[in-house]
Amino acid sequence: MSVTESQLRVALTWVHRGFPVIPCSRTDKAPMVAGFGKDATPEQLAPFSDPEQVSTWWSGRFKRAHVGLLTGRGADGRGLVVVDLDMKKPDTVLPDEYANVTSGADVLERLVAAAGAEWPDTYMVLTPSGGIHLYFRQPEDGPLIGCATGAGTTAPHLGPLIDVRGVGGLVIAAGSYSAAQEIPYRRASPPELLPQPLPAWLLELLRPAAAPAPVRRPAPVRALPSGDRAERAAAAALNTAAERVATSSPGERNGKLYGAARWLGELHETAPAVLDETSVREQLLAAALAAGIRGGEREALRTIQSGWERGVRDGSGAGAA
């Protein structure tokens, strides 16, 4: 079988699997057709999944081109994400914690061990340079995985010597021959094993963490419509206490929360309709959570209850100034 026939066969195999392909240079693997970037529309991407267009490419001007697989979006909207495990080059400088690794596979092994998981069983390709491509399906729900190169502080970065090819990216398919190394990209997984869904632990690493929901500061308490002077003062005291807690600094939050609950407990009998236990608890809890109190809701409620009970005892019905 000639190179042209072989490359066309590889290209059509992936198209029939539902994954778009693109002709790539045999010297530097660069794409030879435009229109596939991360912002490409379905209409722009359609030719890369069209068997007739693909046959034309590899029967004509691109008949000896590498078969590139477009990652990110497939014919059904969800295509591939490929984890590319590179070999360490002689001049590569890595952080001290990775001083003993020789490849991206070593780094992934660490991630596997940290997750208490097993090496993912999926479609795998050995690259001419000794690296490994692990093919997965993009997740069925939520955002698609994008591209990342090497180490980084945000997803989908996985670590040094690991590249991630998602939306807007591509990889060279097994069967393509490297002129530089004079060997082909080779499938290393069983013929029947196709790209698998991302394991949950790996998807968690690849997908950016959801931004935490904003914590609302407690709404100001107003005196009752018929409130007298004592009730107006009690409402002001509750608002002041909640504001002090909400703006407290790390290391003083628990103490400020306890002190606020105790103070309001002392004032309770001066205006019980305003400073009832439920209202005080709700206001101070919202303030504590807005401040980011250590221990969360459970610890905050414990502190509020303790301070409130002490304050009520100290107030003894006399009303504290």
Q: How do residues 83-126 score in pLDDT, each as one tens digit?
A: 999 999 988 888 888 889 999 999 999 999 999 999 999 999 99
Q: How do residues 154-212 score in pLDDT, each as one tens digit?
A: 889 999 999 999 999 999 999 887 666 678 899 999 999 999 999 999 999 998 766 55
Residue 321 has pLDDT above 50, yes or no: no
ω into 214 cis (within 30 of 0): no
**Domain locations in the chain as residue ranges:** 3-206, 229-315
- HSE at residue 261, side-chain half, CA atoms within 13 A, is 27
pTM surpassing 0.95? no
Least Cα distance to 92 among 81, 79, 82, 101 occurs for 101
Q: What is the pLDDT of residue 158?
A: 94
Q: What is the pLDDT of residue 224?
A: 56
Q: How do residues 284-300 score in pLDDT, each as one tens digit?
A: 999 999 888 877 888 89
Q: What is the pLDDT of residue 319?
A: 40
Name residues whose C-beta falls within 8 Å of residue 165's C-beta, 6 or more positions apart in sequence: 71, 80, 81, 82, 83, 84, 147, 171
